[in-house]
Chain A
Amino acid sequence: MIGRRTLLASSAALLAAPAIIRTVHAQSTFDWKRCKGQRVVIALTKNPRADCLQQHQKEFEELTGIRVESEQMPEQQQRPKMVMELASGRPSFDVTHFSLHVSKRVVGTGLWLEDMRPYLANPALTAPDYDWADMSPGALRAATQPDGRIDSLPLESDIWLVYYNKQLFQQKGLSFPKTFDEMLATARKLNDPASGTYGFVARGVKNANVPVWTSILLGQDQETVTPDGRTLLTDTPGAIWAGEMYKSLLRECAPPGVIGFNWNECQTSFMQGKVGMWLDGVGFTPPLLDPKVSKIVDHVGFGVMPAGPKAQACPVFTDALGIPVQSKAKEAAYLYCQWATSKQMLLNLVNMGAGASPRLSTYQDPVLMKASPFGQEWLQTLLASMKIARSGLPEIVPVNEFRDVIGIALSNMIGGADVAKELHAATTAFQPVLAQSLKT
């Protein structure tokens, strides 16, 4: 007798059959083994995306016959190592994993990475189901240099959102804020230093704190530089409003010592159940829901970035993979990049909670939509955030110096400094650096 489950499974298989056959056919016509026997060295930045790639690495080796040697390195070391090796002309890797929001323009200016366009256009090298057009417009924009070259393939789009502690909100009868003004008011209500409870936490340490401020600044429908990348917009009335909001949230409502907090200190404080809201990237979700390390597994809420006076937007930061022009195994390296950014791998990445996929098709996957690994609220927040995502940092060569100069001003604000004076001084200090970078 045919059971209900068997019938349902058979029907689903029948319905999915054409798609599966199409995929298998497409795969069968593409020669993944064209570089069999070659070896590629992959330099990865230590983060959950790299974990995902390494977990599935064997599948790539079996698919292609290419031997992969991959290494993860903390981003503080990986970023300068990558730039120095590329500048030296003798990089030790065939594929590099890097943050476009930090290194895009420096690698673009140096012309150190292969232009992927000829590879993408070559049917002998790109599988028919790769579907470059499936990448979100934001990810495509991030991967494209001003001169039109595409020198990397997007691997992950780190959406920023607000994590909140539902239990603390319920205790005070509060609901998730829709605007930044409401967020400040809510944080003040949640704040109770006498009981060790704080309303809000976010990065206070210099450099790392800049995306927090730009998250607020996007609510003014404004970015940090003009579209031509030549003039700073960091001391405008909108920037000062964002600075005041940042100062109030962190000075009045955050735990003592927040001036030295990076994401890890924020995460630790939030996981102890003593902080109402935490503003940071979606990639930090898994530990919050891990009972071994988190005390708030059943109370974590996910909220879209609140709206500012002029707009509602959230910053997005993109990771990507690139191939050095000096690589001796470019085709094998491209096959690795293609596999790593394929539909299936990016679906694996989202299912692991390692971040948000830059592909649109990921969010049409029926299994993911039905059974999100972190619940429907997480998934719906992610989907809503994708629609309002904008670049969170300027695309300029000296972006690190920008983050330091503005970051120091933001740290000073937490210490009590005047917002307008700090932003004006930082802008004055950085404008010549920006101008100089445009000359060279």
Chain B
Amino acid sequence: MKELKISELMNDYTDNELFLEGQQTVDAEKAIKAVTERISPKKKTKVKPLFKALIAVAAAAALTGAVSAAATAVHEVWVTYTVDGKAVSSEALKTYTFVDDGKIIDEDGNVLEIQEVDSDDIKILYDSDITADDYDVRIRYDGSLESNSEIDSDDIEIQYEGSLDDNVTYTVNGDVVSAEKTVTYNFENGKLVTEDGQELELKVVDEDSVTRVENEDGTVSIYIND
């Protein structure tokens, strides 16, 4: 016997009957403005060499590096970056949503399969069927940020909640290839501050709030448990 979830089957349904014209809905012109703003070209911003390492730390996996800052215990930075260091144009950005049962759902509503194995290596989410796409992921950072401190692979988890531009593109390992826009973060007095001087809200994250899953090709996915 085969078990089918009705809600998933209904993904293939188009409702032409229950939907009623004339109901109050979102203003189309507002939607146009919101969408076209997000697909418009970004201005290029130079990345200061000093902070390339920070971005690399924020974006890549299993690195060690020197970080200069005063410290607070836990920071969270949410970044969007490319797979394998290949930057893509912002128009090709793809968003993946992590849901709390360990699954990833892509923009089309397809569920991506996960292999479950524990691993301490923190690497970029990667699925062999997906190429050169951007992922919205959260990387959690746990440790103190002091001058010249080293961050090893176990510490590289940075989660971020703040008003980060959704269309920011980063490259892996700090190599800026053709990013449309990059954002630099500075650590000042224990706070994370953008290049515009905006302080980012910091939040403590429990170990239990993230789940790590190893994929078939050896990379590991990090999930936020909602």
- Are A and B a genuine interacting pair, yes or no? no
State the A residues within 8 Å of B (CB). none
